[in-house]
Amino acid sequence: MIKVGIVGATGYAGAELVRLLLGHKEAEIVWYGSKSYVDQKFADVYRNFFQLVEDPCLEDQLEEMAKQVDVIFTATPQGYLASVLTEDILSKCKVIDLSADYRIKDVATYEKWYNLEHKSPQFIEEAVYGLCEVNREDIKKARLIANPGCFTTCSILTAYPLVKDGLIDPNTLIIDAKSGTSGAGRGAKQQNLFCEVNESMKAYGVTTHRHTPEIEEQLGYACGKEILVNFTPHLAPMNRGILATEYASLCQVTLPDGSVGYPTEEMIRASYKKYYDQEFFVRVLDGDTPPETKWVEGSNFVDINFKVDERTHRVVMMGALDNLVKGAAGQALQNMNLLFGLDEKEGLAMAPMFP
């Protein structure tokens, strides 16, 4: 059995990790870390785990945890892991970080967008960006995984094939994304109160959201050059879900008949098929069916589709996922499965919940 420790187990992403790991045949949670609830039973914090988890919450002592576990998940605020990670910890166990501390390779970019000083930049280069469908082989050999964020996972996977194949101009990419309120975490914040969120929708972080450089960096790798995108997130009055609607100009390419023109719908669908046909967790929908958050809720699936606008020579790409599963805990578990040579779907093959 893989022995697991979770730092930040009583946050939304941490609790989702617990839920998923309880259904994993090859893993056992031995450390429920939570600074806010030390010595309290985990099931008293989350009553859905009554009679399923009897363990108390323990302090977040990574040095001691590393001696007892095979992998540590850190579901913590930005800056935490960077301030405590050591070579000794990495020599004893794998670490999968759900924060942004090791996602961005350029330290100055991280410090600018997150307004934090990076405390352990020596580990950034070796950290592998844990987008399984793109970096699978590198993930298998890693000891430190930078688990992608929810907005970024949805935004990147939705556009990746068309960027990779040069079918769109990535510098024209506009990403309009909506998130459920659980994406803001469990901390008490006035702007996330029911009366503030219900019956309303708003944009936030306009032109300044800190997931922007992460999207640019990863899609830049796909096309082999630095790019700039417009990314605007919105808060939606729902518990879970990310819906990304993305717009980009099509590039002129060589068509099947040898002429030069804009990619056809068949060419674009073939691009998605090439990259995702063998990916269990990425579902490219048929026809004009748009992705909906309700059809991925509680699951590790990403639903994707697109529509070509022949009038403007642009393409509209759409993606939906559950921000707490594929956007956080599920993807982290998928990374763990790869690290330990397990079936990638272990503990994650459940169908989405509805209603």
- Reported as a single tens digit per residue, the pLDDT across 127-163 is 999 999 999 999 999 999 999 999 999 999 999 999 9
Whole-angstrom distance, CA of residue 154 vs CA of residue 245: 10
Q: What is the pLDDT of residues 190-210, one digit of tens each?
A: 887 888 889 999 999 999 999
Q: What is the pLDDT of residues 47-88, one digit of tens each?
A: 999 999 999 999 999 999 999 999 999 999 999 999 999 999
**Closest alpha carbon to 153 in 331, 317, 349:** 331
Residue 8 has pLDDT above 80, yes or no: yes
pLDDT of residue 195: 85
Residues annotated catalytic, as ranges: 150
- State how far the alpha carbon of 182 is from the alpha carbons of 178, 196, 206, 319, 325, in Å: 12, 14, 20, 18, 11
The domain locations on the chain are 2-126, 151-323
CATH class of 2-126: alpha beta
pLDDT of residue 151: 97
Q: Which residues, 6+ apart, have CB-to-CB distance to 271 below 8 Å?
A: 161, 162, 164, 165, 167
Asked if 269 and 336 count as a contact pair (C-beta separation under 8 A), the reply is no
Q: What is the pLDDT of residues 276-299, one digit of tens each?
A: 999 999 999 999 999 999 999 999
pLDDT of residue 74: 98
The residue-averaged pLDDT of 247-276 equals: 96
Q: What is the pLDDT of residues 82-125, one digit of tens each?
A: 999 999 999 999 999 999 999 999 999 999 999 999 999 999 99
The pTM of this model reads 0.96
Residue 272 has pLDDT above 90, yes or no: yes
pLDDT of residue 194: 86
| CATH H superfamily, domain 151-323 | Dihydrodipicolinate Reductase; domain 2 (3.30.360.10)
pLDDT of residue 293: 98
- In this prediction, residue 40 has a pLDDT band, given cuts at 50, 70 and 90, of very high
Percent of the chain with pLDDT over 90: 95
pLDDT of residue 150: 97
